[in-house]
Amino acid sequence: MELLTDNDIFDLLDGVASEEVTQRHEKLCKTDESYRQYFSELHGLNESLNILPLESPSLAFENTLINRWEAAQTNYKIPTVLKRTPFIFAGIMLSLMFIVMLFFIQLQPTTTGFTAIDF
């Protein structure tokens, strides 16, 4: 039988393990002495971690972090290139349209009527 990973064991200890992991754990506890010993070590470690208080950052750290974030948000400027890009694109497109129009005007016939052909 495949042994459980450390993540599976900690999920089991936290009470969020799947039914399949729970069943494998129960079978391993009944059959494998080394697994039982390893599980008891991890159980003790998990209990020790659960009784430790959570560290919280100081209020000065939080205020400094918030102030820096707000300052970074207000100092952001859109680069000049990005501001001018739509206008540059529009100018290029208008120039191309003008060139294409000139080209097509040159292709138009120069006479407006039919001419008689003499034989």
Confidence label for 38 from pLDDT (cuts 50, 70 and 90):
very high
**Which domain range does residue 12 map to?**
6-51
Instruction: Work out the mean pLDDT of the chain and round it to a whole number.
Output: 85
Long-range CB pairs of 25-28, under 8 A, 24+ apart, other chains included: 27/1, 28/1, 28/3, 28/4
Mean pLDDT comparison of 7-16, 49-58, 69-78, 98-107, highest-scoring range: 7-16
Residue 20 in any domain: the answer is: yes
Residue 118 in any domain: the answer is: no
Question: What are the tokens at 75?
Answer: 């100092």
| pTM, 2 dp | 0.45
Confidence label for 73 from pLDDT (cuts 50, 70 and 90):
confident
Task: Collect all residues with Cβ–Cβ distance below 8 Å to 119 and sequence separation of at least 6.
Answer: none
* Whether residue 63 is found in the same domain as residue 101: yes
Write down the pLDDT at residue 25: 92
Which of 14, 29, 51 is at the close of a domain? 51
DSSP-derived secondary structure for 28-57? HHHH-HHHHHHHHHHHHHHHHHHHSPPP--
Number of domains in the chain: 2
Task: Tell me the average pLDDT across 50-78.
Answer: 83
Confidence label for 117 from pLDDT (cuts 50, 70 and 90):
low
